[in-house]
């Protein structure tokens, strides 16, 4: 069986994604500070409110009465955007040293992208969730999730289209 050499450069991507997903399963709130702390800070700046870190629990916004915890971290968005950036940036690269360099660039891009997108998502979800609560008797869990899906997919598609045009 002959392996197509052009696909070998994606082996590290698959390995990294599997490791990240496994790590996320066992990660605590303290392990996710690298992504939760900046998101909480950005949200506090956007919504002009303070937050408190509850040890090993979540980031709590008393004025809004919301918690930002592991499920709100945007870690899955980070992983998905990392894959997106890698596929677009590494696809045409043939030089091994530049492939390795681009993996590191993709990690940085994915982190920045996921922090900004997730902060925007949460900042939009809070006021829309309050409007939804006032209009409907049912809980807003599905509404909250659907806002997240719509916003995350929108930004992923927009970034993909832009990158395709730039790196054609």
pLDDT in tens, 52-99: 999 888 999 999 888 999 988 999 999 999 999 999 999 888 888 999
DSSP 124-144: HHHHHHHHHHHH-SS-SHHHH
The rounded percent of the chain whose pLDDT value lies above 70 is 90
Please, are residues 66 and 129 in contact by the beta-carbon 8 Å criterion?
no
Q: How far apart are CA 47 and CA 133, in angstroms?
A: 19
pLDDT the model gives residue 139: 57
Q: How many residues does the chain have?
A: 168
Q: Which residues pair with 54 in a beta bridge?
A: 58
The encoded tokens of residue 168 equal 């054609």
Task: Identify the residue whose tokens are 């997730």.
Answer: 118
Which DSSP category does 6 fall into? G
Going by pLDDT thresholds of 50, 70 and 90, the confidence category of residue 132 is low
Phi, psi of 74, rounded to the nearest 5 degrees? 80, 15
Assign 117 to helix, strand or coil.
Answer: helix
Q: How many domains does the chain have?
A: 1
pLDDT the model gives residue 6: 75
Q: Which residues pair with 60 in a beta bridge?
A: 52, 67
CA 152, 155, 157, 160 torsion-angle sign = negative
**Which residue range(s) make up the domain with 104?**
5-166
């Amino acid at each position: 069986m002959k392996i197509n050499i052009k696909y070998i450069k994606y082996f590290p991507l698959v390995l990294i994604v599997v490791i990240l997903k496994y790590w996320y399963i066992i990660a605590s709130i303290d392990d996710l500070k690298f992504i939760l702390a900046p998101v909480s800070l950005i949200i506090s700046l956007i919504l002009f409110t303070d937050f408190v870190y509850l040890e090993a629990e979540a980031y709590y916004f008393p004025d809004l009465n919301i918690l930002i915890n592991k499920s709100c971290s945007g870690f899955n968005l980070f992983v998905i955007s990392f894959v997106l950036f890698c596929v677009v940036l590494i696809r045409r690269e043939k030089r091994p040293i530049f492939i390795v360099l681009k993996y590191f660039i993709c990690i940085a891009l994915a982190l920045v992208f996921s922090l900004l997108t997730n902060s925007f998502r949460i900042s939009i979800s809070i006021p829309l969730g309050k409007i939804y609560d006032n209009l409907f008797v049912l809980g807003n869990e599905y509404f909250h999730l659907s806002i997240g899906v719509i916003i995350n997919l929108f930004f992923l598609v927009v970034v993909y289209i832009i990158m395709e045009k730039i790196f054609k």
